[in-house]
Amino acid sequence: MPGENDMLDRATLAITAGTGVGVGIGATKSAENAQSMLNSSFEQILNGHFTWYGSDIITVVGIGLSIVGIIVTAYRIKLERRRKDAF
């Protein structure tokens, strides 16, 4: 179909430019390491041999928020226990 190639080219250009859903670190690094962080081994992640995609960023942010939530909850429990012990 004539319009199909145009749409594919636009999507490819958007992803390469970093404006698409699959946001890569850079065009050269994306082509070199097209594998997502979620699909990489621990060794590959430590060495930086992966490409950041939207799902990777959301996962890291979610894990970070979960850790902050656990710390805040533990702190509140500690404060509440101190308050009960004071009375």
What pLDDT, in 10s, does the model give residues 41-62?
999 999 989 999 999 999 999 9
Give the domain extent around 73: 2-86
Distance CA 38, CA 35 (A): 8
Kindly give the parts of the chain with pLDDT less than 50. 1, 6-8, 13, 17, 19-28, 30
Q: Indicate the pTM of the whole model.
A: 0.54
Per-residue pLDDT at 85: 87
The confidence score (pLDDT) of residue 28 equals 46
How many domains are there within the chain? 1
Q: Is the dihedral of CA 55, 59, 60, 64 positive or negative?
A: positive
Determine the pLDDT at residue 68: 97
